[in-house]
Chain A
Amino acid sequence: AQSVTQPDIHITVSEGASLELRCNYSYGATPYLFWYVQSPGQGLQLLLKYFSGDTLVQGIKGFEAEFKRSQSSFNLRKPSVHWSDAAEYFCAVGGTGGGNKLTFGTGTQLKVEL
């Protein structure tokens, strides 16, 4: 069975500070990994994805994530957070082994202090 754990329910950072959101996954085959962001009352916007190749992937809005197979992790990072980054962030795993259905974590709520 596939699963995702996001250990941090809430994170607060100051504007301009760096950010790392943690994600650990369990998947029986080669995983496809995703980070989505959700603003209040909105749908999900894709930030970045990993299918194969370079383990450091770049996304939109200055976000990046690193796939570490040995640690079953796919942590999201941003060097300098902006107030507009305040939102909920979801990590998800899928893959052809599961027909590409996505399994999501419970999310991390990011608050940015000005």
Chain B
Amino acid sequence: DAGVTQSPTHLIKTRGQQVTLRCSPKSGHDTVSWYQQALGQGPQFIFQYYEEEERQRGNFPDRFSGHQFPNYSSELNVNALLLGDSALYLCASMRGARETQYFGPGTRLLVL
């Protein structure tokens, strides 16, 4: 049983560019959340998707957007990249709204 997978593992972009990160949830899971983890910090909640809709959003600007597909996989898009967007981006999946979230290995984004 595959766990949560994310791609790519690493990414380097320059300021002003746009980036798309991808996540496939654990089998049987229908809810996907995205978190940003800056160096030396705990993960911070970006948003959560369920039934292809954004169900909840954290304190992140509109430059951060997402999408969930019918197969429950998800994308995180970040526009107009800033140096401060450099971080580990973690995807987590769960079944419904009352279960445990399982995390993927993350995508490390470096903005130069």
Q: Which residues of A contact B (CB under 8 A)?
A: 4, 34, 36, 41-46, 49, 51, 90, 92, 94, 96, 98-107
Contact = CB atoms under 8 A, between A and B. Distances in A.
Contacts of A98: 56
Contact of A46 (B55, B102, B104, B108): B102
Contacts of B101: 94, 100, 102
A99 B43 CA distance: 17
B18 to A, nearest CB: 24
Contacts of A105: 42
B87 to A, nearest CB: 13
Interface residues of B, number: 27
B58 interface: yes
Of residues B101, B103, B105, which shows the largest number of chain A Cβ atoms within 10 Å of its Cβ? B101
B100 A49 contact: yes
B98 A96 contact: yes
Given A43-B105, A46-B103, A98-B56, 6 more contacts: A46-B100, A90-B42, A101-B56, A102-B35, A102-B45, A104-B44
Contact of B58 (A4, A34, A92, A101): A101
A99 B48 contact: yes
Contacts of B33: 101-102
29 contacts: A34-B100, A36-B103, A42-B105, A42-B106, A43-B103, A44-B43, A44-B90, A44-B103, A45-B103, A46-B100, A46-B103, A49-B100, A92-B42, A94-B101, A99-B48, A99-B55, A100-B48, A100-B94, A101-B33, A101-B45, A101-B48, A102-B35, A102-B43, A102-B45, A102-B92, A103-B45, A104-B42, A104-B43, A106-B41
